[in-house]
Amino acid sequence: MKTLKMSIKSDEGKVIGFKIDREVIEGLYITFDILKVIDNYANFKIKYEDVEDGEIATKICKKKNIIILNIKLDNDNHVQYLIDKNMCIKELFELPDNEIPYFFKNKIKESFDMYKQNISSKLITLNTKANDIYYSISS
């Protein structure tokens, strides 16, 4: 089976293929195959600390025209969402929770809102040295 990829320009200006498993809705793509996720981490220089039991780590990577939302449930279970400007929040929340859990929908919405608000210049300045990667850990 052929691997699906979205072409994304890296911080260095090189076009890299972001591996996806499928389109969820227009403007929202998911990757959950661990080998594809690991390749995406390497290609886009996404790094995590180890996750404690009961914690969920999220990392939001802002690129020019998209957001990559990375969710690490534990050390063996990861999911990535590629979000672009064409995603419809209403359509996202109409999906059943067994397809995308409510927690994930909220994280996707937060990421999308960040994209739509074009992130405040203060936040971008604070994170410039971290390649525009924003961190949060919740339990």
Q: Per-residue pLDDT for 98 more than 60? A: yes
Judged against a pLDDT cut of 50, whether residue 90 lies above it is answered with yes
Locate 35 and state its tokens: 């080998």
Q: What percent of the chain has pLDDT over 70?
A: 79
Q: What is the pLDDT of residue 1?
A: 59
pLDDT exceeds cutoff 50 at 65: yes
Q: Are the CB atoms for 76 and 91 separated by under 8 Å?
A: no
Question: Is-contact 68 61, C-beta < 8 A?
Answer: yes
Q: Which residue has the tokens 């074009």?
A: 118
Average the pLDDT over 87-96 and give the result. Answer: 95
CB burial of 5-25 (b: ≥16 within 10 Å; e: otherwise) equals ebebeeeeeeebebbbbeebe
Does this model's pTM top 0.85? My answer is: no
Q: Per-residue pLDDT averaged across 72-82, rounded?
A: 89
Q: Kindly indicate the confidence band of residue 118, based on its pLDDT and cuts at 50, 70 and 90.
A: low
Percent of the chain residues past pLDDT 90, beyond the cut: 44
Most confident of 13-17, 19-23, 55-59: 19-23
Structure tokens at 54: 């009961």
**What Rg value do the Cα atoms of the chain yield, rounded?**
14
Q: Which helix (H) or strand (E) holds 42?
A: helix 34-43
Give residue 76's pLDDT band: very low, low, confident or very high (50, 70, 90). confident
**Taking Cα atoms as reference points, which of 83, 127, 76, 130 lies closest to residue 104?**
83
Chain-wide mean pLDDT for the chain? 80
